[in-house]
Structure 1
Amino acid sequence: MTVTATSVGQPDRLEPPTAPASRGARLLRRLLPPAAAALSGVLLYASFPPRTLWWLALPAFAVFGWVLRGRSWKAALGLGYLFGLGFLLPLLVWTGVEVGPGPWIALVVIEAVFVALVGAGVAAVSKLPAWPVWAAALWIAGEAARARVPFRGFPWGKIAFGQADGVFLPLAALGGTPVLGFAVVLSGFGLYEIVRLVLERRRTGEVRRSAAAVALLSVAVPFAAAAAARPLVSDKAEDGTATVAVIQGNVPRLGLEFNAQRRAVLDYHARETERLAADVKAGRTAKPDFVLWPENSSDIDPYVNADAAAVIDKAAKAIGAPISVGGVVERGGKLYNEQILWDPVKGPTQTYDKRQVQPFGEYLPLRSFIGAVNENWTSMVRQDFSRGSKPGVFDMDGAKVGLATCYEAAFDWAVRDTVTHGAQIISVPSNNATFDRSEMTYQQLAMSRIRAVEHSRTVTVPVTSGVSAIIMPDGKITQKTGMFVPDYLVQKVPLRSSETPATRLGILPEIALVLVAAGGLGWAIGTRVRARRGATL
């Protein structure tokens, strides 16, 4: 205690001059890491479409590395959760556009748990040699888990899906989304390590050469690998070309209510196809070899309703080319989200039933529990869709067209096996009308761009209400529509049959990175256990 003299006539008083500043500094030190964790998550979100700020992912992970390095696993768990909330809350806000904030918040709360666990793992390996490698592998292991559980997974928000405009994009052709994402995260953690070592050198005048080499290589190697992988990206035709037409018919009005107007949606797509046919006849555009309609373009079952079949058949005959129609059909009391190949002469021939159906959108897990919480949520999915079992590859006028319906584009396996089953071009028919003008459609479009490079295939994206697009095998969008307007796109595109390393390797790069993560985590835990045993001797 310090007693100081005061002016005459006033009593002495206690005055610890450093206490307020000390309390303020302690409070700042306590609040800074959680604030930085949440804000770096927001920074990562800002790197995703529709923005083209892919490079923001690097400083986001650099700050995340600073926040986690040297923390206890308990502290890192909380900081990782805040990072996950900062990233996923704005990224997935579209999930609550029509149904309110409840499902959106619930989804983010669950998905952020995976990020929290990764955060704890990163903190554990952060004192190991070459820690950015182990830490980046742990992030990919977390993504691998999110893509599989719960409810068959939710891979939305993979780091690779924010890199469609970035310099690392060619790595998708080398090892798919796991290798692309690993390169980005490794560069971010490596960037932090470089800054940390520079500051350490200024403070102490020395730094370990091995640590400096690892930090520099963590940034340099991903950039060099991306440059080396560029020859894998090509839009050269290998099996000739095909002229493809993508139809966007639009919907009667925004929101979920459009499902009550299923006939209008079908009529709109038929009308736009007939407009295309008129333009072909007038010589204003090239005649397509085949036509692609979006998911849910005929929610009226054409096998049961003769009027719906007549509308589709008339459109197919008008354009004189096969049409892939997105329908909702019922067989044996089960609903299927189905693509139907409709020939202008033979009518319906081949079909593809969507295999990765969307939880809470196309089927409702835990229906009784959810109904007890809010009965309005169960009305969103009155009857569950059943899953298909076979990959979809249509033979359309001699071209092999692989199908990955909407949500399936987020899953590595669902796109890859269309290519391994012979697809020369990929189509991602989608229906985003229920998500209004949110960022969802741009996020999904970026996924399709990644898939184009990953498998070196043209990717078409026919969407009911936009944005529909044609994407070259190098990931570039050559044509696209606006949102909530009727339109069509016609273009000659390359047909390709060669397989990229990513296509051939499949899941192996992801397995390798998960093993690296497990090895680093095991090393860190073993080191800590030995240190504790040594301390007790």
Structure 2
Amino acid sequence: MQKPDDWLASRWRRSVLAVLAGALPVLAFPGPALWWWAYVALVPWILLARTAPGGRRAAYDGWCGGFGFVLAMHHWLLPNLHVFTFVIAALLGALWIPWGWLVRRTLGGAPSRGRVAAALLVLPSGWLLAELVRSWQGLGGPWGMLGASQWQVAPALRLASVGGVWLLSFLVVAVNVAVAVLVAVRRARVPALAGLVATAAATSAAWGWAPRPDTGERVAIAVVQPGIVAGAGSAERRFDREEQLTRGLAGRDLDLIVWGESSVGHDLDDRPDLARRLAALSRETGADVLVNVDARRSGKPGIYKSSVLVGPEGPTGDRYDKMRLVPFGEYVPFRSLLGWATSVGKAAGEDRMRGTGQVVMNAGDGLRIGPMVCFESAFPDMSRRLAADGAGVLLAQSSTSTFQHTWAPEQHASLAALRAAETGRPMVHATLTGVSAVYDANGARTGPRLGTDASASRVYEVPVAHGTTPYVRYGDWTVYAALLTLAAWGAAEGVRTVRLRRGRPVRPGPPARTAHGSPARPGR
């Protein structure tokens, strides 16, 4: 018989294994970018949860694995948020509690072929449920969605145009489930193989059916990346460097010039001298300049981050105020309760102000652009709305200067490939310090990128695309299908449980006894 101390030690060993298993998928994302690893990375976690002694332990395995997944995906926040990074990982990791329970419910013990077949749909749907809740901006947004690991795989990007990153996550989890069954459940290898074949067939069908973007004319868009500028007076010196790099683009026959996030540190109404310098740059280069102002706005309280278009005569009047702010980086959720985070890390000392709606801008000669600011490029619904509203080119102005020597810049730039493929619109990712990159309407990178060590400007020939992708037209249908799958499975399990209880034989009670305590005889 196992002693309590041994059982406790075993429980903690299991928890550590679950944390490590949950962290494995991070290797599929940039920087390692081992995209193929995503298709087997969940197998250890699945095998662990299916062998749990009970549903409660499996749910705990889900929580521990979720903690490991979130912590590994956001490990680069540790120098800034310190211990609060672990708090966030523990809170968000709880979203995988139902998933861990579902793994044991569908694959635990010696599952029948029917339960394995159900698992191939139910477990990916359960994973999407966790990603859906986590994608709420107040919980950190959709950074690190499993499907985003496939940003450089052309067939996967075609699928993204059909069902968005959600469809990629669903298929990646389905493949992991099938592999786990092949490894651990011999009697159910046939449905597992059938699931893999069905996945391959669906992928091939989507590849052939999904309409390709109709590309025509090209536009010349320049990205200006000043590089690291630190110390006193950094805002002024950064502007000087950006001005110098932009002036060097004169004579290049440009359609648009894009500066990064927080590229201008003063409100242009308060600093008309800066507005005049930007207008002069527009005249010299023959192109409008899209800058990003991070400052208090004249006549309004608070600090805004705003994309502002400047033409030869000055600001054109097109302005977009950032709507979705970075939790703790640009505001502190429930500041009255969590304000202590500012004392243990570099959380925002003052909340930024939010914009109220997305904007499509006219950048001259019929070029319609849809700007987003930094963190917003992680949200597929924002780029989808801009494409539906007529944007021909998507833009993300970003700054990952704080995390310069981590995996964050690479991870952030990779998201633009997904947004481009989902919408069938080219996307420009312009940063202050790298990584800056441009992707065509298929999600393929156009031209060389600007790395984190670059202080330069670069011109990209961007093919403008037309048409509407299925994802733009039908939206997050994969999520709705997953929720319906979970609801149908839950209803079927409920009916099955009721039938089992009704069909269970009634145990005879103890024999009746007489007043003297002896068993009563029949007939008396």
Fold equivalence (TM over 0.5):
yes
Aligned match of 1:75: 57
Distance 1:457 1:503 in 2: 11
- Provide the residue aligned with 2:423 in structure 1: 455
Provide closer, same or farther for how the CA distance between residues 263 and 535 of structure 1 changes in structure 2, counting only shifts above 3 A: farther
1:29-50 deviation digits (Å, cap 9, x = unpaired): 8677545433322221111112
Which residue among 372, 376, 388 is the counterpart of 2:355?
388
Query: How many residues get paired?
Result: 492
1:295 partner letter: E
Unpaired runs of 5+ in structure 2?
507-524
Determine if contact 2:157/2:442 at 8 Å carries over to the other structure. no
What amino acid is the match of 2:160? Answer: A
- Cα offset, 1:189, TM superposition: 0.3
Secondary structure of 1:195 counterpart: helix
Write the letter of the residue equivalent to 1:502. Y
Give the aligned partner of residue 87 of structure 1. Answer: 69
Work out whether residues 151 and 414 of structure 2, in 8 Å CA contact, stay in contact via their aligned partners in 1: yes
Residue from 223, 226, 229 that aligns with 1:252 = 229
State the shift of 1:436 in Å: 2.2
Partner of 2:128: 140
C-alpha displacement of 1:375: 5.0
User: 2:434 aligns to what SS in structure 1?
Assistant: coil
| Residue aligned with 2:324, SS | coil
Alpha-carbon shift at residue 291 of structure 1 (Å): 0.8
- Measure, in 1, the Cα distance between the counterparts of 2:97 and 2:19: 12
1:445 to 394, 413, 419: 413
Distance in 1, matches of 2:404 and 2:133, equals 30
Whether the 8 Å contact between 1:248 and 1:463 is mirrored in structure 2 is yes
Q: Does 1:273 align with 2:249?
A: no
For 1:287-298, list aligned pairs within 5 A: 287-298=253-264
Secondary structure of the residue aligned to 1:480 is coil
Task: Check whether the contact 2:76–2:408 (CA below 8 A) recurs between aligned residues.
Answer: yes
Contact 2:81 2:346 in 1 (8 A): no
What is the CA–CA distance in structure 1 between the aligned matches of 2:30 and 2:490, rounded to whole Å? 32
1:191 aligned residue: 179
**Structure 1 unpaired stretches of 5+:** 1-18, 201-206, 281-285
- Choose from 126, 142, 162 the match for 1:155: 142
Give the structure 1 partner of residue 36 of structure 2. Answer: 55
Does the aligned pair in 1 maintain the 2:56–2:101 contact within 8 Å?
A: yes
Give the structure-1-normalised TM-score. 0.84
Give yes or no for contact 2:68–2:93 (8 Å, CA) kept in 1: no
Alpha-carbon contact 2:226-2:238 (below 8 Å) kept: yes
Q: Secondary structure at the match of 1:496?
A: strand
Given that 2:213 and 2:467 are in contact with CA atoms closer than 8 Å, whether structure 1 keeps it comes out as: no
User: In structure 1, how many angstroms separate the alpha carbons of the residues matched to 2:211 and 2:227?
Assistant: 33
Indicate the residue corresponding to 1:308 in structure 2. 274
1:458-494 CA-partner distances (Å, limit 9, x unpaired): 1111000001011122222222012142111212111
Distance in 1, matches of 2:341 and 2:23, equals 30
What is the CA RMSD across the aligned residues, in angstroms?
Answer: 2.8
TM-superposed deviation, 1:405: 1.4
SS at match of 1:359: coil
Contact kept? 2:22, 2:66, Cα under 8 Å: yes
- Per the alignment, residue 92 of structure 2 pairs with 111
| AA at the equivalent of 1:60 | A
State the SS of the aligned residue for 2:215: coil
What residue number does 2:515 align with? none
Residue 319, structure 1, aligned to residue 275, structure 2: no
SS of 1:462's partner is: strand
- Deviation, structure 1 residue 194: 2.1
Question: Residue 23 and residue 509 in structure 1: after superposition, are their counterparts in 2 closer, same or farther (change >3 A)?
Answer: closer
> C-alpha displacement at 1:533, in angstroms?
5.8
2:496 aligns to what?
A: 527
Change (3 A) 1:66 1:531: farther
CA drift of 1:370 comes to 2.8
SS in 1 for 2:360: strand
1:93-492 aligned at under 5 Å gives the runs 93-97=75-79, 99-126=80-107, 127=111, 128-130=115-117, 131-148=119-136, 151=138, 153-166=140-153, 167-197=155-185, 200=186, 207=187, 211-231=188-208, 232=210, 234=212, 236-238=214-216, 240-253=217-230, 261-277=234-250, 280=251, 286-329=252-295, 330=297, 331-371=299-339, 373=340, 376=343, 380-397=347-364, 398-478=366-446, 479-492=448-461
Amino acid at match of 1:185: V
1:484-503 matched pairs, under 5 angstroms: 484-503=453-472
SS at match of 2:465: coil
Which deviates the most, 425-434 or 88-97?
88-97
Q: State whether residues 459 and 472 of structure 1, in contact with CA within 8 Å, keep that contact through their aligned partners in structure 2.
A: yes
Q: Does 1:38 align with 2:19?
A: yes
CA distance in 1, matches of 2:351, 2:475: 30
Read off the aligned partner of 2:239 and give its amino acid letter: L
SS at match of 1:495: strand
Q: CA deviation at 1:78?
A: 1.4
Query: Partner letter of residue 224 of structure 1?
Result: A
Tell me if the contact between 1:122 and 1:138 (Cα under 8 Å) persists in the aligned partners: no
Question: Which deviations, in whole Å up to 9, do the C-alpha atoms of 1:2-50 show, x marking residues without a partner?
Answer: xxxxxxxxxxxxxxxxx99x99998998677545433322221111112
1:153 positional shift: 4.8
- Compare 286-295 and 518-527 and name the one that shifted more: 518-527
Structure-2 change in CA distance of 1:212 and 1:448 (3 Å): same
Q: Distance in 1 between matches of 2:162 and 2:168?
A: 8
Q: 1:49 to 1:233 in 2, by over 3 A?
A: farther
How many angstroms apart in 2 are the aligned matches of 1:195 and 1:266? Answer: 58
Equivalent residue, structure 1, for 2:510: none
SS of equivalent residue, structure 2 residue 156 = coil
TM-score (norm: length of structure 2): 0.86
Matched, 1:514 2:483: yes
| Separation in 1, partners of 2:36, 2:379 | 24
Report the AA paired with residue 454 of structure 2. V
Give 2:521's aligned residue: none
8 A Cα contact 1:173 1:229, kept in partner: no
Distance in structure 1 (CA, Å) of the matches to 2:175 and 2:166: 14
CA–CA distance in 2 between the matches of 1:118 and 1:246? 43
Instruction: Compute the displacement of 1:102 (Å).
Output: 2.4
Secondary structure in 1 matching 2:487: helix
Tell me the CA shift for residue 187 of structure 1.
0.7
